[in-house]
Amino acid sequence: MKMPFLQICSVSVLRRSLAVLLLGLLFVLSGCFARYMGSADCTTSLEEILSRVDMKPVFQGMAADLCGEPCNPTGNPNVTACPSPTFLVTDFVDIHSLQPKKHGIVMGELMRSSLNRTCRAKIVQAEFSESFTLSDKGLVAMSRDPKRVRHPEYPYSEYIVGTFSYSGNKLFLFARKVDVATGRVTKMASREITAGCGGLFNAVSVE
């Protein structure tokens, strides 16, 4: 039995409409996928990351990495309490310019607050440029004799040196614990914060 001409035309038009609709949907989805995968449209300013991401947990996690295990984790009253450590903490400096700028100053304050809260440490503010330098590979080194770097009021203290690097939509944070007596880095903590399209942010540890 032959189908009427109008019915055949209706089926053909419906198929074409569905095909056009599917193609349009695929185009939209592919565009969204490309944006979320980090195209140029995903570039985010450092100001936006710092204003939209809750940075306190990030720095508290870094502080916990630097503090290590507590000396009396069980709270046993028979265990002599450990003396509070003293940290000389620098502002975070841009790994490229070695300048803290306003962002590094904010990061330094967050780091000091987190170390005080998490490690129960005594905090002394220090200047990065007075005692440290960076190699072209981003390695922190003392710029003078460790014996001369020691703070007279805190002879057994340790430095916490912070650096950051920002590019496109990624912010890298690095904090190093430096033994004042030897100039060696004894511990390191790092985080990577990635800004995705649509206001999505992800903070992870960097191995």
Q: Is 31 a domain residue? A: no
Nearest to 63 by CA among 149, 167, 176, 142: 176
Chunked mean pLDDT (size 10), the chain, 207 residues = 51 59 55 43 77 90 84 56 79 87 92 92 79 58 54 69 89 90 88 77 64
Q: Parallel, antiparallel, or unpaired for β 86-90 and 132-134?
A: unpaired
pLDDT of residue 38: 40
As given in the structure block, the two tokens for residue 89 are 């903490």
pLDDT of residue 35: 42
Q: Is 150 a domain residue? A: yes
Q: Is 151 a domain residue? A: yes
Q: Is 192 a domain residue? A: yes
CA 29-53-201 angle, to 5 degrees, is: 25
Q: Is 3 a domain residue? A: no
pLDDT of residue 127: 78
pLDDT of residue 2: 52
- The domain that holds 182 is classified in CATH as 3.40.50.10610
Terminal alpha carbon distance of the chain: 72
pLDDT of residue 74: 54
Total number of domains in the chain: 1
Which residue intervals of 37-100 are DSSP H helices?
Answer: 46-52, 55-67
pLDDT of residue 124: 85
Q: Is 26 a domain residue? A: no
Q: Is 6 a domain residue? A: no
pLDDT of residue 105: 92
> Containing domain of residue 154, as a range?
43-69+83-205
Q: Is 126 a domain residue? A: yes
